[in-house]
């Protein structure tokens, strides 16, 4: 009998899915409200709440940088994992090609976000 020495990569993607799902469940609604509704309509927060100097400083601070990276990357990993498995539920074969497409897009977004956040400076 061949010994099983290959570990599955599934727990990694499951972990990213779970972490992103939890983050989106806890902070998704309030983030959408702040960036997409409250600031554009000047509700609760002042009109210059997301002014360039302020957001620039936020993205340059290590905490703001980390927060932005974690939100963008984990939301994407969560969504692409879920879309992959829902497509499988709809009869699309979740083979290597579809996995590369879904996880590849999440990886692309993650690396783009990382690259931008480094380019923004410290």
Partner 1 sequence: MNTPDPRRPYVRPMAGWWRRNPFFVEYMVHEATAFFVAAYALVLLVGLLRLAQGEVAWNGWQEALRSPWSVAFHGVLLAAMCYHSWTWFRIMPKTMPPLAVRGKRVAPGVITACGVAAAVVCSLVALVLAWGATR
- Distances from the Cα of 64 to the Cα of 47, 70, 71, 90, 117, angstroms: 20, 10, 11, 39, 10
For position 22 contacting partner 1 by CB under 8 A, the verdict is yes
Closest distance to partner 1 from the beta carbon of 1 (Å): 31
Q: Which stretch binds partner 1 (CB under 8 A): 1-9, 92-100, 111-119?
A: 111-119
**Residues in Cβ contact with 37 at an 8 Å cutoff, skipping those fewer than 6 apart:** 43
What is d(CA 41, CA 63) in angstroms, rounded to the nearest whole number?
27
Q: In the complex with partner 1, which residue's Cβ is closer, 12 or 116?
A: 116
**Helices then strands, each counted (H, E), the chain:** 4, 0
Q: Counting contacts by CB under 8 A, is residue 86 touching partner 1?
A: yes
Which residue, 108, 111, 103, is CA-closest to 16? 103
CA separation for the pair 34, 61 (Å, rounded): 20
Q: According to the binding rule CB under 8 A, does residue 16 interact with partner 1?
A: no
Minimum separation from the CB atom of position 22 to partner 1 (A): 7
Pattern 43-72, partner 1, x by CB under 8 A: -xxx-xxx-xxxxx--x--------x--xx
Interacting residues toward partner 1 by CB under 8 A: 18, 20-22, 24-37, 39-41, 44-46, 48-50, 52-56, 59, 68, 71-72, 75-76, 78-80, 82-83, 85-86, 89-91, 109, 112-113, 116-117, 119-120
């Amino acid at each position: 009998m061949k010994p099983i020495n290959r570990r599955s990569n599934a727990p990694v993607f499951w972990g990213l899915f779970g972490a992103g799902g939890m983050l989106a469940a806890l902070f998704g609604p309030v983030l959408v409200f702040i960036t997409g509704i409250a600031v554009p309509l000047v509700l609760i927060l002042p009109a210059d709440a997301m002014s360039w100097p302020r957001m620039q400083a936020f993205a340059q601070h290590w905490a703001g940088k980390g927060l932005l990276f974690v939100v963008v990357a984990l939301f994407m990993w969560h969504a692409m994992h879920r879309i992959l498995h829902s497509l499988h539920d709809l009869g699309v074969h979740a083979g290597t090609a579809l996995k590369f497409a879904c996880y590849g897009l999440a990886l692309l977004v993650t690396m783009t976000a990382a690259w931008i956040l480094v380019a923004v400076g410290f």
